[in-house]
Amino acid sequence: MFYVLGLISFLLPSVQGLEEICYEEVGCFPVGFPWAGTRERPEGGLPWSPKMVNTRFLLFTRDNADHFQEINSSTISDSYFQTTRKTRFIIHGFIDVGTEGWVPDMCNAMLSVEDINCLSTDWSDGSHTDYVQAANNVRVVGAEVADLVKTLRDDLGYSPSLVHVIGHSLGAHAAGEAGKRMPGIGRITGLDPAQPYFQDTPEEVRLDPSDATLVDVIHTDSAPFIPSLGLGTGQLSGHLDFFPNGGIQMPGCKQKEEYNISDIFIAFQGKHDDLVCNHLRSYRYYMESITTPSGFTGFPAASYESFSSGAGFPCPANECPVMGHYADLYSGATPSSQTYYLNTGDSPPFARWRYKVTVHISVPVSVLGSVWLSLLGLNGKTKMHDIYSGRIQPKQTHTAFIDAETKVGPLVSAHFIWSSRNEAQAKSVTVEFGGDGTRWSVAGGSSSSCSDVRKEGEFAMETLGALQTSLHGGALLRGRWGYYPCPRKRLTLVTFWSLEKTLITSRYVPLLISIVLVKRYGNLIIVIIKGKFVLGRRSSVIRQFPHPISNPIGKRVSSFTASLIRQRGAGRWRCARWAYGGDVGATPAHWGDCTD
């Protein structure tokens, strides 16, 4: 399978006739079945000697966070290592290093929140070779980790239960080898354990739950290696197996159709980042979980599809494990594997918090429309999330799950946006937090096409006063370009007709108001109108919009300005400002960058 990575034919003669190979420093390694001659491992191979693999242990502590101290079994007693601390080993994977990059960064992230011994396990000499050889070399790496833990136990009285071994890709199986050779290790974390040459092999070959008291695994690239080039295993390998985003395709990573097997080697050298993007997300999620633990809550489910439909929500008995650094705080681990699912963002910060939102909408007749909702709590607010798009029936309830980019805390308000030419009533909104099942219910009244639930029970948009209050300063739509970004593909969110109806049915109009409009005419979107209005015929307003407006009041607007925005290509927005005065026509100013 990995013949394109080279050198396999040179290994075969050295294996034939051997049952095991032994090295004085680390002991013996069987080289026959099941390490060779199987469908999963068709070609055999000998692990290199410890001298060739050249495993190095680089110690980071709070005493030397900026520079590592290289240690070994002979020097650890005279190092910064302290037996009063927990110890975390981090083992990199194929064609990687432990002297720079993500491994030292992870040590420093840990040291920012806890006083530990962090040991970067650098085996770069043994990993920078063809894949099959590197897959064999991890056995030596694991043996050397086990030997160091044995020294800690025998010479310093340090319990293996205080040891946590974290391994990425091939490094995860090195961690498993360490656990097999040194019983009693407290925890092993597999960060997308390597699939080729390990998936579907017997337990003695790969990482498995028996390798430590707790084994937790993050799967991020578990599509089949052939034909999909998945680099991580999809096989359950721990007590807690987490599948973020389903475990196959991570948000923000490109699909792999354009690549082939021969690209893998250079991908790990950084020349095809897209090919290894999913695979690398495992340690990036873990690193963020160190400082944002609650943003990676895993929900128990049999599959990603059932999770997406609501399985495991909210957390049973108000407890779910958190993927990553604090998975060991979960009290519900069992001897058998348990699967957990969650969603992440497509770029840092990846953390997400899951909410269930139920909106009861009342419309006079069946209509096509869309519903968006934003949550505002004591700790923050979310962007607008799509709740439903399609045909909405009278007195219908819609439920959706929101993976919010912030944990809002106790709910203060919910901002509701309705897209249709018909008016609607939001009878109620119920929000439930997945972490502990806390629920907030908002009982509402009538709602126009753009409504603001500023406090529990407030949907009022019938009077101009309520409109002015809830939309003051553009607060409802504050977001990417200064206002909440109503989804760009459907920008008719607050229609002129519904707003006009509010204006002309009021008995009076204040002299100074702020009004927010969003109306799309081809490439042009009218976003904000701010101005001074008096009772009168609105002849100048007619020039803004293509639709005639009937206004029985009989007087005119004295002056106002309109901010305009248009889209030019994906993600590119340009703005201008029009000035009006009485019946005088208007000319757009120079198009420039959008501002508040």
- Going by C-alpha positions, the residue among 123, 113, 148 that lies closest to residue 53 is 123
- Going by C-alpha positions, the residue among 353, 372, 355, 562 that lies closest to residue 485 is 372
Q: How far is CA 246 from CA 154, 243, 401, 466, 520, in A?
A: 43, 5, 16, 44, 36
3-state secondary structure of 30: strand
Strand bridging mode 86-91 / 116-122? parallel
Name the token pair of 348: 């840092």
Considering the candidates 127, 169, 370, 413, report the single residue annotated as catalytic: 169
Residue that the structure tokens 């798009």 belong to: 389
Q: Do 177 and 143 contact (CB within 8 A), yes or no?
A: yes
Please tell me what DSSP assigns to residue 241: E
Considering the candidates 279, 325, 385, 415, report the single residue annotated as catalytic: 279
In whole angstroms, give the CA distance from residue 98 to residue 107: 11
Backbone angles phi, psi at 539, to 5 degrees: -65, -35
In whole angstroms, give the CA distance from residue 19 to residue 337: 32
In whole angstroms, give the CA distance from residue 9 to residue 44: 10
- Going by C-alpha positions, the residue among 187, 194, 182, 191 that lies closest to residue 212 is 187
Considering the candidates 96, 147, 192, 403, report the single residue annotated as catalytic: 192
Catalytic, 583? Answer: no
Catalytic, 192? Answer: yes
Query: 10 Å Cβ neighbour count for 294?
Result: 12
Q: Label residue 310 left, alpha or beta by phi (over 0 means left) and psi (-120 to 50 means alpha).
A: left
Name the token pair of 208: 């498995």
In whole angstroms, give the CA distance from residue 169 to residue 47: 17
- Going by C-alpha positions, the residue among 15, 87, 113, 98 that lies closest to residue 57 is 98
Q: Do 387 and 373 contact (CB within 8 A), yes or no?
A: yes
Q: Which residues are catalytic?
A: 169, 192, 279
